[in-house]
């Protein structure tokens, strides 16, 4: 690849910068540009009904400023603007924003479009970058400033003549701010501000667009800090950001820009916009939530946000999209699964109100996701993930010996369908059931009874099956299990004993079933074997577990 074709954009001449040591402490003013920047980037633009639905949903999410279009650029945008106003669809406290170039007829049509609106942001822009001035407009710097000033005066004149009672908010963007000389960006913005004369009570928005990403995020932050410290009007303006994602760093660029002094962010849901998109407000907002900052937008039902977005735009949210993709709270790696499981248990033990779970930066429930999808079992899964599924879905707390033994069983099952094959929870339980519980050959258990003598020695009489043939066995011992083992090994002729035992209820309530885990050791060769039994009775589940463990031993030694 020919890197010689390209030159890096110059950095900002700053000797002392403050933004790197700052942190984001509060949410910015948010402005959605989904219905303008986002809509114009769609292969098939939204219909009027889709725009109305999207607008109402943006209001529901908490946006107070929404750019709805470029009314002078198309009848569609103009009609949408009038539809919202004439049908009283704009909630109190919400301002619609409209974009206009610095041209008389365009400004006139724009002001006509918002007539009668309660609150309207009039967004004036013109291109200021060295490249645009050179190859597109053939402008000298003074020509560029003159154009901006003409537009600013015209808008001011229109507002002075308005009798509809609209509350106007003024906004100016030096388009391609990030590829404009920093000192010239300050100069042209200050020229516009000198005409509009903002006050601390009636501030003007100065929007600093990174229309195209040409440099790293830290350089943009320097540009924003330079502007904030050099403009004459800092206390009387709202500094806004509008970043694009050509280099894939729009979120970081906006975060750095906020650290550098900005107050406001324009962006879109999931980053829809020209080329590689605008800054993704969903990601930016949840990033703030993760840092303990209330984003002032409600993404607590992420699935609904995705549904409305995809239905209205025709776009898709990718499976790995930050915070929203269907796989972002899913762990395939065994070590990740184990860490997640342990982290959640530790939080429960400590009754912690501060989220601290490895590999899960936020609680999935905060964006309306369930815990169930977190652990998915495939060929990369480990004991921790399998144990989590068994416990979460079925109330089965696998002992470590069972975890070790069951892992290769699950891996083999996942690999049968290829490397991408996944097992559902019920499939995992069915594997466990077949491997450790329903092991009914060559021996089966029909029934048994226990009696005790005066010294509490138990006698067990049981009816078992041996390859389908019923056989009565009898044995004594210190308790039911010991007596049953004596009877069983006397009949089969193989000396074994129980080396480990545990049991628990599989779920709470009167209908709970008991599961017993048994480990036996073959005293002839020292090998151990495991089995499990399930019943509403602990004694029955225990005896069944012994038979299953023995059957598994017989299958190996024969």
> What is residue 417's predicted lDDT score, i.e. its pLDDT?
64
| Signed CA dihedral, 252, 255, 260, 264: sign only | positive
User: What is the C-alpha separation between 76 and 13, in angstroms, rounded?
Assistant: 45
Query: What pLDDT, on a 0 to 100 scale, did the predictor assign at position 371?
Result: 53
Say if 19 falls within a structural domain.
Answer: no
Where is the domain boundary, 368, 399, 434? 434
The answer on 146 and 170 residing in a single domain is: yes
* pLDDT value at 374 more than 70: no
pLDDT of residue 510: 52
Give the number of other Cβ atoms within 10 Å of residue 463's Cβ.
Answer: 14
Residues 425 and 453 in one domain: no
**Model pLDDT, residue 419:** 54
- Average pLDDT value over all residues in the chain: 93
Q: Residue 85 has which token pair?
A: 């106003």
For β-strands 237-243 and 264-267, DSSP reports them as parallel
Q: 159 and 74 share a domain?
A: yes
Tokens representing residue 508 in the block: 């709470």
What is the separation of C-alpha 433 from the centre of its chain, rounded to a whole number of angstroms?
A: 35
Asked whether residue 9 is domain-assigned, the answer is: no
pLDDT at 509: 53
Residue 22 in any domain: the answer is no
**Residue 465, domain CATH:** 3.30.160.270
Name the domain count of the chain.
3
Which one of 434, 466, 499 terminates a domain?
434
What percent of the chain is predicted at pLDDT more than 70? 97
456: phi > 0 → left, psi -120 to 50 → alpha, else beta; which? left
Q: Which of 416, 335, 341 is nearest to 379 (CA)?
A: 416
Distances (CA, A) of 150 to 109, 156, 392: 16, 10, 67
Tell which wins on pLDDT, 372 or 279: 279
Cis peptide preceding 281, ω within 30 of 0: no
Is residue 17 in a domain?
no
Last residue of some domain: 434, 459, 478?
Answer: 434
Residue 267, pLDDT > 80, answer yes
Q: Is residue 392 part of a domain?
A: yes
Please, are residues 357 and 399 in contact by the beta-carbon 8 Å criterion?
no
For 232-259, how does the pLDDT look when each residue is reduced to its tens digit (9 = 90+)? 999 999 999 999 999 999 999 999 999 9
Q: Is residue 326 part of a domain?
A: no
**Which phi and psi (to 5°) does residue 557 adopt?**
-75, -15
pLDDT digits (tens, 9 = 90+) for 375-386: 678 888 888 888
Domain boundaries, position 506:
443-557
Residue 93 lies inside a defined structural domain of this protein: yes
Q: What pLDDT does 443 receive? A: 95
Same domain, 347 and 447: no
Instruction: Quote the pLDDT of residue 445.
Output: 94
- 429 with 458, same domain? no
Residues 426 and 347 in one domain: yes
The per-residue pLDDT for 156 is 98
Residue 418 banded pLDDT, cuts 50, 70, 90? low
Q: pLDDT class for 21, splitting at 50, 70, 90?
A: very high
Q: Are residues 188 and 39 in the same domain?
A: yes
pLDDT at 420 (0 to 100): 60
Q: What is the secondary structure of 42-54 as a DSSP string?
A: SSSPPPHHHHHHH
**Distance (Å, whole) CA 357 – CA 177:** 41
449 occurs within a structural domain:
yes
Are residues 376 and 478 both part of a single domain? Answer: no
Each residue's pLDDT tens digit, 164-189: 899 999 999 999 999 999 999 999 99
Residue with tokens 């402005």: 31
CA distance 334 to 358: 13
What SS3 class is residue 76? helix
The pLDDT tens digits for 433-492 are 999 999 999 999 999 999 988 778 999 999 999 999 999 999 999 999 999 999 999 999
| 307-337 pLDDT tens trace | 999 999 999 999 999 999 988 988 877 788 8
| 33, 67 contact by CB (below 8 A) | yes
Q: What is the pLDDT of residue 30?
A: 98
Residues 225 and 362 in one domain: no
Range 84-107 average pLDDT? 97
**Contact partners, residue 191, CB within 8 Å, separation at least 6:** 145, 148, 149
Instruction: Give the Å distances, CA to CA, from 64 to 96, 173, 266, 282.
Output: 8, 19, 12, 16
Predicted local distance difference test score (pLDDT) of residue 325 = 93
Instruction: For residue 180, report the phi and psi dihedrals to the nearest 5 degrees.
Output: -110, 145
- Residue 362 pLDDT level (bands cut at 50, 70, 90): very high
- Average pLDDT, stretch 270-289? 97
Residue 67 has pLDDT above 60, yes or no: yes
The DSSP annotation for 311-345 comes to HHH-----TT-TTTSTTTT-B-SHHHHHHHHHHHH
CATH number of the domain at 278, please. 3.20.20.70
Q: Are residues 537 and 393 in the same domain?
A: no
61 and 145 share one domain? yes
Minimal CA–CA distance to 533: which of 556, 521, 515, 513?
515
Query: Based on the number of CB atoms within 10 Å of its own CB, is 352 exposed (0-12), middle (13-18) or buried (19 or more)?
Result: exposed
Q: Does residue 199 sit in the same domain as residue 278?
A: yes
């Amino acid at each position: 690849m020919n890197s010689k074709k390209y030159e890096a954009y110059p950095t900002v001449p700053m000797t002392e910068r403050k933004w790197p040591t700052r942190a984001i402490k509060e949410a910015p003013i948010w402005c959605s540009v989904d219905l303008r920047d986002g809509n114009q980037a769609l292969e098939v633009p939204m219909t009027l009904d889709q725009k109305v639905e999207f607008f109402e949903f943006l209001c529901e999410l908490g946006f107070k400023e929404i750019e709805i279009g470029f009314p002078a650029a198309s009848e569609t945008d103009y009609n949408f603007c009038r539809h919202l106003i004439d049908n009283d669809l704009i909630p109190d406290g919400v301002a619609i924003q409209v974009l206009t170039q610095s041209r008389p007829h365009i400004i006139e049509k724009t002001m006509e479009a918002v007539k009668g609106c309660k609150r309207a942001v009039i967004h004036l822009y013109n291109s200021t970058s060295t490249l645009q001035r050179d190859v597109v407009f053939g402008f000298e710097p003074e020509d560029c400033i003159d154009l901006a000033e003409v537009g600013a005066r015209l808008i001011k004149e229109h507002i002075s003549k308005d009798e509809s009672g609209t509350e106007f908010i003024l906004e100016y963007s030096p388009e391609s701010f990030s590829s404009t000389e920093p000192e010239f960006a300050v100069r042209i913005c200050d020229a516009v501000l000198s005409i509009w004369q903002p006050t601390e009570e009636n501030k003007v928005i100065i929007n600093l667009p990174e229309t195209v990403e040409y440099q790293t995020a830290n350089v943009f932050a320097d540009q924003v800090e330079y502007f904030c410290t050099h403009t004459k009007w800092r206390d009387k303006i709202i500094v806004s950001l509008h970043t694009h994602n050509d280099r894939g760093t729009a979120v970081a660029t906006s975060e750095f820009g906020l650290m550098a002094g900005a107050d406001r962010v324009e962006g879109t849901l999931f980053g829809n916009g020209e080329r590689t998109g605008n800054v993704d407000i969903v990601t930016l907002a949840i990033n703030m939530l993760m840092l303990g900052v209330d984003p002032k937008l409600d993404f607590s039902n992420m699935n609904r946000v995705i549904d409305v977005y995809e239905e209205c735009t025709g776009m898709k949210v990718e499976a790995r999209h930050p915070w929203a993709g269907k796989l972002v709270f899913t762990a395939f790696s065994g070590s990740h699964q184990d860490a997640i499981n342990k982290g959640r248990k530790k939080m429960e033990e400590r009754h912690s109100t501060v989220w601290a779970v490895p590999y899960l930066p936020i609680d999935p429930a905060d964006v309306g996701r369930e815990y169930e999808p977190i652990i998915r079992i495939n060929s990369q899964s480990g004991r921790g993930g399998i144990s989590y599924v068994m416990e979460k879905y079925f109330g089965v707390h696998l002992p470590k010996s069972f975890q070790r033994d069951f892992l290769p069983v699950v891996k083999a099952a996942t690999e049968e369908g290829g490397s991408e094959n996944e097992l559902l929870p019920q499939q995992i339980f069915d594997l466990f059931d077949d491997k450790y519980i329903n092991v009914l050959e060559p021996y089966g258990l029909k029934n048994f009874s226990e009696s005790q003598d005066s010294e509490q020695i138990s006698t067990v009489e049981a009816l078992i099956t041996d390859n389908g043939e019923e056989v009565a066995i009898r044995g004594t011992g210190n308790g039911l299990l010991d007596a049953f083992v004596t009877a069983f090994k006397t009949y089969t002729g193989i000396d074994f004993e129980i080396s480990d035992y545990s049991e628990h209820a599989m779920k709470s309530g009167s209908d709970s079933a008991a599961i017993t885990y048994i480990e036996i050791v073959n005293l002839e060769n020292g090998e151990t074997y495991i089995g499990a039994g399930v019943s509403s009775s602990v004694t029955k589940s225990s005896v069944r577990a012994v038979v299953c463990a023995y059957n598994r031993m017989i299958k190996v030694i024969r």
